[in-house]
Amino acid sequence: MVTMNLDIRSTVGEWVVDRPSRSRVFEELGIDYCCGGKQPLEDACRDKGLAAEQVVRALLAVDEPTGTADRDWSAALLSELCDHIEATHHEYLRRELPRLASLTEKVAKVHGPNHGEMIELHAVVAGLKAELGDHMMKEEQILFPMIRELEHAVSFPSFHCGSIGNPIRVMEFEHDSAGGALARMRELTHDHSCPDDACNTWRAMVDGLRQLETDLHQHIHKENNILFPRALRRERELA
C-alpha cells in the first residue's frame, strides 16, 4: 500500500523513503536511489531506456503481500524440508548477504566518521556472511545428505562422524553465533531505526537487515525445532 501520493514525477528517493524495500527494484535496474535520489522517476527511467509504467508496477508489486502461508513443515518428509531450506533460505542468504555487506560498507565509508557504530556494523555483517557461507556448505554437503540417507534407510547407516547428533551440535552452535550477530546488528541500528541524517542507502540497509533477521529466525527455527529433532528421532528408530 502506497502511503505517499507518488507517481512517475515523484523522485526516485521518495519512492524508497516511502517503502525502503523498493530499493531492490532500483538496484536490479541500475537506478541510483541514493546520490541520484532527487531525480524524478520518469527521468531516471528514460535515462535507462525503461518504461516508467512498468517500473512503477514492479515497485508496487514489492508492496503486495504474497497471500500464502508457510506450510506445516513438521509433517513434511525430511528430504522435502532439506530441499525447502536450501531452495528458500540458503538461496536468500546467498543473494542477500553480499548485498547487505556492500550496503553496510557504503554506509560505513560515508557516515562512519559521525556514526562509528556503522563501522562495527559492517564488520559484523561481513563476518556473518563468511560464517554462514561455510555453515551452508557444511549443511548441503555433509549434514543434509546424511539426513536424506537416514530417511530412506532400512537399517542403521554407518556415518563417518558416528551419530548424526555430532554435526547437528556443530550446526546448532553456529546458529547461536548467528543469532548473536543478529542481536548485535539490532543494537547497532537501534532496533532497526534510521537517524535524521540517514541517506536512502542507509534506509535500504536497515530494511534489509530487518528482513534478514526475520528470515534467519525462520530458517533456524525450521532446523533447530523441526528438522534436527526429527532426524535424531529417525536415527533412534533405526538403532
- Could you read off the pLDDT of 70-122 as tens digits, one per residue? 677 888 999 999 999 999 999 999 999 999 999 999 999 999 999 999 999 99
**Do 134 and 221 belong together in one domain?**
yes
Q: Is residue 177 situated within a structural domain?
A: yes
Confirm if 46 and 16 have CB atoms less than 8 A apart: no
Total number of domains in the chain: 2
Q: How far apart are CA 56 and CA 80, in angstroms?
A: 36
**Do 149 and 93 belong together in one domain?**
yes
**Do 129 and 48 belong together in one domain?**
no
**DSSP conformation class of 142:** I
**Do 51 and 81 belong together in one domain?**
no
Is the pLDDT at 23 greater than 90, yes or no? no
Is the pLDDT at 4 greater than 90, yes or no? no
**Do 44 and 152 belong together in one domain?**
no
**Do 27 and 97 belong together in one domain?**
no
Q: Is residue 69 situated within a structural domain?
A: no
Confidence of residue 2 (pLDDT cuts 50, 70, 90): very low
**Do 148 and 53 belong together in one domain?**
no
Range of the domain at 125: 77-238
Q: Is residue 3 situated within a structural domain?
A: no
Per-residue pLDDT, averaged over 51-69, amounts to: 79
**Do 95 and 212 belong together in one domain?**
yes
**Do 28 and 133 belong together in one domain?**
no
**Do 98 and 40 belong together in one domain?**
no
**Do 229 and 190 belong together in one domain?**
yes
pLDDT tens-digit series, residues 134-174: 999 999 999 999 999 999 988 877 777 789 999 999 999 99
Q: Is residue 4 situated within a structural domain?
A: no
Q: Is residue 46 situated within a structural domain?
A: yes
Q: Is residue 174 situated within a structural domain?
A: yes
Q: Is residue 170 situated within a structural domain?
A: yes
Confidence of residue 21 (pLDDT cuts 50, 70, 90): confident
**DSSP conformation class of 67:** -
Percentages helix, strand, coil for the chain (3-state, rounded to 5) are 70, 0, 25
Percent of the chain with pLDDT over 70: 95
Cβ of 209: how many Cβ atoms within 10 Å?
A: 23
Beta bridge partners of 40: 11
Beta bridge partners of 180: none
Q: How far apart are CA 22 and CA 60, in angstroms?
A: 8
Lookup result for grid cell 539490532: 186
**Do 94 and 117 belong together in one domain?**
yes
Q: How far apart are CA 118 and CA 140, in angstroms?
A: 32
